[in-house]
Structures are given as C-alpha cells and as structure tokens.
Amino acid sequence: MMRRLWNVFVLLVCIGLCAGCERAETLITQTTPTPTILSQWAIAAEASSQFGFPDWSVTRATGAPEVNACEDDSRAWASARGNGVEWLRLTYAQPVYTTEVRIYQTLGRGAIFRVSLVDESGAAQRVWEGEDTDRTCPGVLSVVVPQTVERIVGVHIDLDESRTGFWNEIDAVELIGVR
Ligand SMILES: [Ca+2]
C-alpha cells in the first residue's frame, strides 16, 4: 500500500515538473525580441546634377565616408554648377523605422536647407528644414527624428548653393533606424 502511494507521489511530482518545463518554454517563446538598431550607407543615389563621372558623381555619395579632410575631393558628390538649387537622393538596402540621418560634408557646408525621408511607397516626408549654421568641416549634419511610423528606404536632400556661393560636397549619408 505504502509502495503504491509512493509511486503515485513520484508520478505526480514528475507531471508537475513537466508542466513547469512547458510553462517555462512558453514564456521564453513569448518574449519580445530586442529591436535591432541598424546603421547603413546608401547603395544608390541620383541627383539634379553632378560635376563629373565617376569623380564627383552621385555614386561618390554612396558607401561609407572616405574623405577625412575639408577639401575639394573627387570621392565626394558635387553638383555641376555649385551656385544654385540642387537635390541629392539616396537609396538604402534595408527598410528601417528611422531615428537619425547623418550627412557627411567635406566642402562648402551651409547649403543644405531641407532633409526628407522616403518611405517604401516612394512618398517623401520633410523632417528638417532650416539653415545648417555649423561650419565644422569636414562635418556631419545630424537630423534626429522621432522613430518613423513608416519604414524608410531613402533620404532626399535639398541644397541651395547660392547661400554659400560654392560647391557643398557630400561624401556619404548614413541612415540609422530600427529594423
Ligand atoms: Ca564618398
């Protein structure tokens, strides 16, 4: 009798342990994954004009920064005329809920007057407008935004080079966001 009771007790303990294991496993699978912050460089670009090709062309604004000086350098994008309204649009491989854009400038800083984010439908939304008063060169214009609702795949930059009367060369544009 005692032995049978003991066997029943052991069986109940095993069932309890297994149920506990199952619950623990369920809890683990329900844990929300940590959001991945992704920093990326443009894979393609187009612009209103370019000074040359391949030097100073739009492709020079793709990829990571290459110029570590304030100078006229063919590894950065430059417009054809350097004295009027221009635009530069970058495309990225991974759509992200964007939190920041960083524009790496290597010459003639001060012409950028508007920055917009392009979502997967192609719609552009303005996130910054004004005057880039920081003259640090080479330098980065950082535009921090509340995390976007739409996933972003592009950055559109508007410049007015009549503000500075000179070429505003852009070496790279970094897009930061949550995947
Ligand atoms: Ca470059």
Find the largest Cα–Cα distance for the chain. Answer: 101
d(CA 144, CA 99): 6
Its pTM stands at: 0.82
Task: Using the mean position of ligand 1's atoms as its centre, give its distance from the Cα of residue 69 in Å.
Answer: 12
Helical (H) or strand (E) element with 28: helix 2-30
Question: Letter for the amino acid at 27?
Answer: L
From the list 136, 135, 125, the residue with the least C-alpha distance to 163 is 135
Task: Using the mean position of ligand 1's atoms as its centre, give its distance from the Cα of residue 29 in Å.
Answer: 43
Phi, psi (degrees; rounded to nearest 5) at 170: -120, 120
Task: Using the mean position of ligand 1's atoms as its centre, give its distance from the Cα of residue 76 in Å.
Answer: 4
Would you state the pLDDT for residue 35? Answer: 82
Task: Using the mean position of ligand 1's atoms as its centre, give its distance from the Cα of residue 50 in Å.
Answer: 13
Would you state the pLDDT for residue 21? Answer: 47
The pLDDT-based confidence of 6 (bands split at 50, 70, 90) is low
Task: Using the mean position of ligand 1's atoms as its centre, give its distance from the Cα of residue 77 in Å.
Answer: 7
Give the domain ranges of the chain.
1-33, 37-178
**Which CATH architecture does the domain made up of 37-178 adopt?**
Sandwich (2.60)
Task: Using the mean position of ligand 1's atoms as its centre, give its distance from the Cα of residue 27 in Å.
Answer: 47
d(CA 111, CA 85): 9
Task: Using the mean position of ligand 1's atoms as its centre, give its distance from the Cα of residue 65 in Å.
Answer: 5
| Tens digit of each residue's pLDDT (9 = 90 or more) over 96-137 | 999 999 999 999 999 999 999 999 999 999 999 999 999 999
79 contacts 49 by C-beta, under 8 angstroms? yes
The pair of structure tokens assigned to 12 is 């109940």
| Tens digit of each residue's pLDDT (9 = 90 or more) over 129-168 | 999 999 999 999 999 999 999 999 999 999 999 999 999 9
Alpha helices in 46-161 (DSSP H): none
Task: Using the mean position of ligand 1's atoms as its centre, give its distance from the Cα of residue 149 in Å.
Answer: 30
Quote the mean pLDDT of the chain.
89
